[in-house]
């Protein structure tokens, strides 16, 4: 990519990242406790909130042509940004890798059973597909774009096919009238949707810094994220309602032609998951200040850890994982935005550690972990930024007087 990337190219990148099985999974999970209308509303608010801070980060990224970790270096310190921001990004993408490997494994085991083949435990299938994805990231990453050319259109076709089959036996009125047996607070549901794309929002400078203009970065984010996220959430919810289950693998298995459906599910998971483990390997390479030639070895080691997580069934901890992501990663955005737009100190001399930023991040994360309020996910990012802004401004005023 170069610094002349237009909004439609950026939108296609974000669209490709969103069109994945976890996006459907979010819809099927929300519909278990919310009506169809409220699920969409929760998604709209959550996705819009992430795109809002994503756009602010992108403005800074385009003006400075810097990645997320580089932008965070002033507010966290150079070493602090590498350790905290780099570690969180590395662990979050590693977690996503484990979840998607688990999905691929469950899909593969289901294919074999539906085709009257041998019954292979899900953990073995998860290990098998996880290893294939790891080796793709280590040795065949340059060919991934060709895999994407096949996978993204294929899953779109699959989703259209699923909806056509679904509405042969069900009406849209049935979807509208659906009432869940249980319920969760709306703000909790919004928190789930925020957590789904929070990582993408925080690491958006890594991609959007190549935008030709700030307008391109913002438009690419809005058009690439919100429509695709809402569509995938809606489809996941519709399939869950009509198929009577919230297990995404079970849903596609019940639609008929299991080999066709499951093969595309695995293919879609494969493409996005290679990106996950590649990003994780790169983050840990930078974290330990290793040379680029070490990336393949680090990616292999980190990938094997991800495979173990998949074998242990990390998919069952999906909601817990989303919650941890939201708690740890969103305060980073609040601090960077405050530092750039309010404190305006990005051009100052960098220290190894900026304890003000680290303290503010901890406050935001601990706040979201401890309080029971349904708006804690929004409060965390605001409080972290507010604490950083107040302390930093006070210190700068004191220094100016002296």
Q: What are phi and psi of 61, to 5 degrees?
A: -65, -40
Residue 263 covered by a domain: yes
For the segment 352-363, the average pLDDT, to the nearest whole number, is 92
Residue 288 confidence (pLDDT) above 90: no
Residue 340 covered by a domain: yes
pLDDT in tens, 292-337: 788 889 999 999 999 999 999 888 887 788 778 778 888 999 999 9
pLDDT of 373 reads 72
pLDDT of 78 reads 85
Burial of 230-243, coded b for 16+ CB within 10 Å and e otherwise, reads: bbbbbbbbbbbbbb
d(CA 99, CA 273): 9
- Token pair 């703000």 is found at 187
Residue 117 lies in domain:
7-401
CATH number of the domain residue 21 falls in: 1.10.4160.10
- How many residues would you count in the chain? 402
Residue 77 covered by a domain: yes
Residue 346 confidence (pLDDT) above 60: no
With beta carbons less than 8 A apart as the criterion, state whether 299 and 281 touch.
Answer: yes
Residue 104 covered by a domain: yes
pTM, full prediction = 0.82
Element (H, E) at 134: helix 122-139
With beta carbons less than 8 A apart as the criterion, state whether 237 and 31 touch.
Answer: yes
pLDDT in tens, 131-157: 999 998 888 766 666 776 777 788 788
Q: What are phi and psi of 211, to 5 degrees?
A: -60, 145
With beta carbons less than 8 A apart as the criterion, state whether 13 and 207 touch.
Answer: yes
Strand, helix or coil for residue 211: strand
Residue 292 covered by a domain: yes
Residue 254 covered by a domain: yes
With beta carbons less than 8 A apart as the criterion, state whether 44 and 60 touch.
Answer: no
Residue 2 covered by a domain: no
pLDDT in tens, 196-253: 888 888 888 888 988 999 999 999 999 999 999 999 999 999 988 988 776 666 776 6
* Stronger pLDDT, 389 or 374, i.e. the higher one: 389
d(CA 58, CA 86): 18
With beta carbons less than 8 A apart as the criterion, state whether 37 and 230 touch.
Answer: no
Residue 267 covered by a domain: yes
How many other CB atoms are found less than 10 A from the CB of residue 9? 17
Range with top average pLDDT, 125-139, 150-164, 361-375: 125-139
Q: How many structural domains compose the chain?
A: 1
């Amino acid at each position: 990519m170069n610094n002349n990337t237009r909004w439609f190219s950026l939108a296609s990148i974000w669209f490709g990242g969103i069109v994945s099985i976890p996006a459907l999974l979010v819809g099927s999970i929300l519909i278990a406790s919310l009506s169809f209308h409220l699920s969409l509303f929760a998604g709209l608010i959550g996705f819009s909130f992430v795109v809002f801070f994503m756009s602010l980060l992108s403005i800074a990224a385009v003006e400075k042509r810097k990645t997320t970790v580089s932008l965070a270096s002033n507010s966290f310190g150079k070493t602090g940004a590498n350790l905290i921001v780099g570690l969180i990004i590395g662990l979050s993408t590693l977690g996503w890798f484990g979840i998607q490997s688990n999905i691929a494994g469950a899909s593969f085991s289901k294919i074999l059973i539906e085709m009257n083949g041998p019954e292979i435990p899900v953990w073995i299938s998860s290990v098998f597909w996880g290893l294939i994805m790891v080796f793709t990231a280590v040795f065949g990453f340059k060919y991934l774009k060709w895999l994407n050319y096949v996978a993204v259109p294929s899953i779109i076709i699959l989703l259209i096919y699923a909806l056509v089959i679904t509405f042969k036996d069900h009406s849209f009125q049935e979807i509208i009238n659906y009432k869940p047996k249980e319920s969760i607070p709306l703000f909790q549901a919004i928190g789930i949707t925020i957590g789904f794309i929070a990582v993408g929002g925080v690491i958006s400078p890594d991609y959007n810094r190549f935008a030709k203009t700030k307008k391109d970065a913002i438009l690419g984010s809005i058009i690439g994220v919100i429509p695709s996220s809402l569509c995938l959430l809606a489809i996941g919810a519709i399939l869950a309602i009509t198929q009577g289950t919230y297990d995404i693998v079970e849903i596609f298995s019940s639609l008929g032609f299991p080999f066709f459906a499951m093969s595309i599910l695995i293919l879609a998971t494969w493409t996005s998951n290679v990106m996950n483990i590649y990003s994780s390997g790169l983050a840990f390479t930078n974290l330990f200040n290793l040379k680029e030639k070490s990336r393949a070895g680090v990616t292999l080691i980190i990938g094997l850890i991800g495979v173990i997580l998949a074998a242990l069934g990390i998919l069952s901890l999906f909601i817990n994982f989303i919650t941890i992501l939201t708690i740890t990663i969103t305060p980073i955005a609040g601090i960077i935005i405050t530092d750039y737009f309010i404190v305006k100190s990005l051009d100052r001399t960098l220290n190894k550690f900026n304890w003000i930023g680290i303290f503010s991040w901890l406050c935001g994360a601990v706040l979201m972990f401890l309080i029971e309020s349904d708006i804690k996910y929004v409060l965390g990012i605001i409080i972290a930024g507010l604490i950083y802004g107040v302390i930093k401004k006070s210190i700068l005023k004191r220094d100016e007087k002296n």
